[in-house]
Amino acid sequence: MIRLAQTRGFHARWTEEIQREWLMALLRHRPELDEAKLRRTTTLINQAIPDCLVTGYGHLIDQLSLPFACSASQRAGEG
């Protein structure tokens, strides 16, 4: 995904909240992994893909009505 995004084959976007969610899920399932190294990896990913972090979406969360089990913050960040 990172290489494809770097070629501009698609625009990879996520929020800091989504990054925290996958990081914590990974650490729950793989407690032997080093959290500091994973956080460094997320920093490097964010630096490698310009404009990947979505911000300023908080006001959209309350406006969303979702018919499926996805967090509203995830959907608001996709815009």
Return the structure tokens found at 17.
């909240």
Predicted TM-score (pTM) of the model is: 0.66
The region that residue 27 occupies, defined by phi over 0 for left and psi between -120 and 50 for alpha, beta otherwise, is alpha
Residue 55: which domain range?
A: 2-78
pLDDT, tens digit (0-9, with 9 covering 90-100), for 10-51: 788 889 989 999 999 999 999 999 999 999 999 998 998 888
Which residue shows structure tokens 């908080």?
A: 58
Q: Which of 63, 57, 62 is nearest to 78 (CA)?
A: 57
Tally of structural domains, the chain: 1
Contacts of 11 by beta carbon, 8 Å cutoff, 6+ apart: 5, 51
The predicted pLDDT at position 64 comes to 74
**Rounded Cα gap, residues 3 and 48, in angstroms:** 9
pLDDT, tens digit (0-9, with 9 covering 90-100), for 54-72: 998 888 877 777 666 555 5
